[in-house]
Amino acid sequence: MTIDVSEANFESDVLARSAQGPVVVYLWSPRSDACVAVGEVVERMINATAGKILLARINVDDNPSIVQAFRVQAVPALFALRDGGILGEFQGQLSEAAIAQFLEQMLPTATQEEIAALIARGDEQSLLAVLDIEPGNEIAIVALATILTARGEGEAALSLLARVPETENVRKASAAARLSLRPPDDYDTQLEKLLDSVKLDDDARQQFVDILEVMGLDDPRSAVWRKKLTARLY
C-alpha cells in the first residue's frame, strides 16, 4: 500500500501507523529523474509484499521540516520505521538489489503477524493474548482500555494505560477513562463550571483538558473552549 504524506498528516499516517506494522518512508523530489525511477522500483517491491509494508512517499520540496527531522543529506532516501523509531536508512542512489535487501529485513516475523491478527480481531481475549506476547503493545493497550472504560472500569483502564508512554491515542483514552469516573453531564455545562477554577486548581484544569480531549478537534465547540481556557490561564 502506498500513501502520500505531508507535514500535516505525518504523525497520524506514519508515526502512529508504524506501531501497527513496518513503514517505509520514501523521501523524493519530482524534479529528480533518479528519484522517480527508484520510487517506481520501491513501490513495485512493496506492492509485492501484499500489504505487509506500508510505503509513505514524501515530497522533500514541499515538506522541509520532515527533511530536517530525518537529517536528509541526499535524495532519494529510504527510512524504515517501526513503533515510531528508525530501524534503518539509505540515502542517495540505490541499486535494485540493495532495495530488495532493505525491504526483506522489514518483513514481519511470524510472531508479529500473530499479533497483528489478534489486534485485528479486537475482542478482549485477543487483546489480552497480545499483551501476553508483547506486554507494552500500545495498540492493544489502548483498545483494551477503551473496552474497560465502556463497561465502567475506568480505574483499571488508567492502570493499564500507565504501562506505555503518552501518545495522542494514549492521552485520549486516558481522558475518556478519567471522565468515566465522574458523574455524566453535558460537556458545555461541565466546562462552564470548571472555567473559573482552571487557573489555580490543578484538578479542575485537568478535568477541563480531559473534556477537550474527548470532544476532539472536530467538535466546533472545542476551539471556543480552548480559547476561553487560554484567556483564563494567560
Residue 51, amino acid? G
Residues 133 and 197 in one domain: no
Q: Confidence band (pLDDT; 50, 70, 90) for 187? A: confident
Residue 185 has pLDDT above 70, yes or no: no
Q: Average pLDDT, stretch 150-169?
A: 93
pLDDT band at 109 (very low <50, low <70, confident <90, very high): confident
pLDDT greater than 90 at residue 38 = yes
The answer on pLDDT for 201 being more than 80 is yes
Query: Which domain CATH number covers 163?
Result: 1.25.40
Cross-strand partners of 81: 23, 86
% of the chain surpassing 90 pLDDT: 61
Name which of 55-64, 125-134, 180-189 the model is least confident about: 180-189
- Residue 204's CB is within 10 A of a number of other CB atoms, namely 16
Distance CA 142, CA 173 (A): 6
pTM over 0.75: no
Span 16-28, mean pLDDT?
A: 90
| DSSP assignments along the chain, one per residue | -EEE--TTTHIIIIITGGGTS-EEEEEE-TT-HHHHHHHHHHHHHHHTTTTSSEEEEEETTT-HHHHHHHT--SSSEEEEEETTEEEEEEES---HHHHHHHHHTTSPPHHHHHHHHHHHH--HHHHHHHHHH-TT-HHHHHHHHHHHHHTT-HHHHHHHHTTS---HHHHHHHHHHHHHTS----HHHHHHHHHTTTTT-HHHHHHHHHHHHHH-TTSHHHHHHHHHHHHHH-
Task: Pick the last residue of a domain from 82, 104, 126.
Answer: 104
pLDDT at position 167 over 80: yes
| pLDDT band for position 184 (cuts 50, 70, 90) | low
Task: Identify the domain boundary among 104, 123, 146.
Answer: 104
What cell does 138 get?
500500545
Which domain-ending residue is among 181, 202, 225? Answer: 181
Tell me, yes or no, whether 207 and 224 share the same domain: yes
CATH of the domain at 88: 3.40.30.10
At 118, the pLDDT band (50, 70, 90 cuts) reads very high
Is 80 exceeded by the pLDDT of residue 123?
A: yes
The predicted pLDDT at position 183 comes to 64
Q: State the Cα–Cα distance between residues 103 and 85, nearest whole angstrom.
A: 16
